[in-house]
Chains A and B, each alone.
Chain A
């Protein structure tokens, strides 16, 4: 009997699929710092489109996975994603019969997280108006090295968890090799790639959208193609024929209270 295959995808807004706007309800002139940006980005129609047309489902379909579970969420850093992963995936009996592959598109490294009110709260330079973020950034004397060390620590935790559970994994980064050289040297993992998109080789204008600066659907298609190429280069049997495909976005807040009650 063929084992069912589950693709778990992890990351920030680029994994949640932000950028795949539903232009029937979204004004073309909308921009990220507009007052009504959050109204549109949180609208159910846009959210649904983000989750459906980002790279996760594209990779899942191209490689013939039976199911995609996307826990990517905008604003998340690597630590918040790992927390979501332990909450949602690690001991979830629903997935115990699947062979699991994880693709993690790494977020920007200076983000951090804590639990707040039983939920994961992410912080990062994007909310530098907050005192806690200002203090964090102020204390980074070695401002390039320290977030990378933090990222390296969580990367190692992630790898250990995957190996402990025998999950297959692939790690991607939007940074270029040059920028990312240090982490590549210290992490030293053949499943780590910066090649999901090489900005130097594409005219990225038509791959990004002006509303939020994320990829548009063409961009996410290219990202998914490059990811599949890399994954196939590491495991030529990863691609299967499969016509039944289901998907789920689980990047929302997990209720510890509910679970324990």
Chain B
């Protein structure tokens, strides 16, 4: 019997779908950094729209997948996303599915730890004292890339074992300044160089500078084309109008009880 096709997506805010604002509840003059920005960012109507109209569901539909699970998280780091994958996907029985994983690699200087039982993602550029200390010690692009490469290497091993087909891509040119060409690997099929990443006009949300829905449509076309090039079996699948989808957040991490 033909297996159903499952698409798992990982990444940062660009994968969570931030930018697909619900303009019926969001003031058009809102800007990131405004006092009430967080309130609107977390508003259930916006969150629902981010998750529904970002690139993951669009790619799922365009490639005729049966189901999409999106793990992408605003502010997410490579290691934080891997923690989420281990917590939420590793023990799932995926035998009924032919599974593909697309990882939009986050900005590589981000890192994560567990804090109070939850995954805690940090950016090197944050003003948090820990991030400041981190960036005093670790500041070279190559080091960030080596760190990211480690986690992607391990993810690749896990995917091989679970027969998940892994692809990764970047939405920026983090690699180009690096003299370490460690990313030309089998699972980096569509690393997009800045010069090839010219978004059409009007595809960015002025509210947060993420893509808007037109932007995510553009990204999904690019991802679809690259997936088609890479996997012959996806080429003849028909686009579908509706798809079963699920957004998985970090909240699954159960707070652990201290040792008795």
Residues of A within 8 A of B (CB): 82-83, 86, 90, 112, 114-118, 121, 130-132, 134-136, 138-142, 144-150, 153, 156-157, 160-161, 163-165, 179, 181-182, 256-257, 260
A139–B154 touching, CB < 8 Å: no
A182 and B256 within 8 A (CB): yes
B90: chain A residues within 8 A (beta carbon): 156, 160
Question: What are 13 inter-chain pairs, A to B, with CB distance below 8 A?
Answer: A83-B150, A86-B150, A121-B137, A131-B136, A132-B136, A134-B133, A135-B133, A145-B114, A146-B113, A153-B83, A163-B161, A179-B259, A182-B256
List B contacts of A148 (CB < 8 A). 256
Given A135-B133, A156-B90, A164-B160: A182 in contact with B116 (beta carbons within 8 A): no
Q: A144-B259, A161-B157, A256-B180 are in contact. Are A116 and B137 (CB under 8 A)?
A: yes
Chain B 111-135 per-residue mask, 1 if CB under 8 angstroms from chain A, else 0: 1011111001000000001100110
Nearest 5 CB-CB pairs, A to B? A115-B143, A135-B130, A149-B114, A115-B146, A131-B133
Greatest chain A CB density within 10 A among B82, B154, B181 is at B154
Q: Is the CB of B143 within 8 A of A164?
A: no
Contact B258 A144, beta carbon cutoff 8 Å:
yes
Interface contact B256-A149, CB-CB below 8 Å: yes
Nearest to A113 among chain B residues (CB) is B147
Q: Does B138 contact A (CB under 8 A)?
A: yes
Residue of A nearest to B257 (CB): A145
Give the complex CA separation of A241 and B188 in angstroms.
45
Contact A136 B143 (CB under 8 A): no
Q: Check if A117 sits within 8 Å of B259, measured CB to CB.
A: no
Instruction: Among A116, A150, A182, point to the contact of B138 (Cβ < 8 A).
Output: A116
> Are B133 and A132 neighbours in the complex by a CB distance under 8 Å?
yes
Inter-chain contact B113/A157, CB cutoff 8 Å: no
Residues on A with C-beta less than 8 A from B111 are 114
- Identity of the chain B residue whose Cβ is nearest the Cβ of A157 in the assembled complex: B154
Chain A residues with Cβ under 8 A from B154's Cβ?
82, 86, 157, 160-161
Q: Is the CB–CB distance between A135 and B129 below 8 Å?
A: yes
Taking a contact as CB atoms under 8 Å apart, the answer to whether A150 and B258 are in contact is: no
Q: A86-B153, A145-B117, A146-B116 are in contact. Are A114 and B182 (CB under 8 A)?
A: no
Q: How far is the CB of B93 from chain A (nearest CB, A)?
A: 16
Give the distance in Å from the alpha carbon of A164 to the alpha carbon of B155 in the complex. Answer: 11
Contacts of A257 in B (CB 8 A): 180
Closest beta carbon of chain A to B88's beta carbon, Å? 12
A153-B86, A160-B161, A260-B182 known; A118 vs B143 contact (CB < 8 Å): yes
Given contacts A114-B143, A160-B161, A182-B259, contact A136 B113 (CB under 8 A): yes
Whole-angstrom distance from the CB of B106 to the nearest CB of chain A?
A: 16
Chain A positions within 8 Å of B130 at CB level: 132, 135-136, 138-139
Task: List the B side residues contacting A134 at CB < 8 Å.
Answer: 133
The residue among B116, B142, B160 with the most chain A CB atoms within 10 A of its own CB is B116
Q: A181-B259, A260-B182 are in contact. Are A117 and B136 (CB under 8 A)?
A: no
Query: With the chains together, A131 CA to B150 CA distance in Å?
Result: 25
> By the criterion CB–CB under 8 Å, are B113 and A112 in contact?
yes
B140 close to A (CB within 8 Å): yes
Contacting residue for A115 out of B86, B136, B138, CB 8 A: B138
In the complex the two chains form, is B116's CB within 8 Å of A118's CB?
Answer: no
Contact partners of B179 in chain A: CB under 8 A: 260
In the assembled complex, B208 has its CB within 8 A of some CB on chain A:
no
Q: Are A132 and B115 in contact (CB under 8 A)?
A: no
Closest A residue to B161 by CB, please name it.
Answer: A164
Closest to B135 in A: A132
Shortest Cβ distance from residue A248 to the other chain B in the assembled complex, whole angstroms = 22
Q: A115-B147, A132-B137, A256-B182 are in contact. List 18 more A-B contacts (CB 8 A).
A: A86-B153, A114-B137, A118-B142, A132-B130, A134-B133, A135-B133, A136-B130, A142-B117, A142-B255, A142-B258, A145-B255, A146-B113, A149-B117, A153-B86, A157-B154, A160-B154, A256-B146, A256-B180
**Of A132, A140, A257, most B-chain CB atoms within 10 Å:** A132
CA distance A134 to B179 in the complex (A): 33
A146 lies within 8 A of B147 (CB)? no
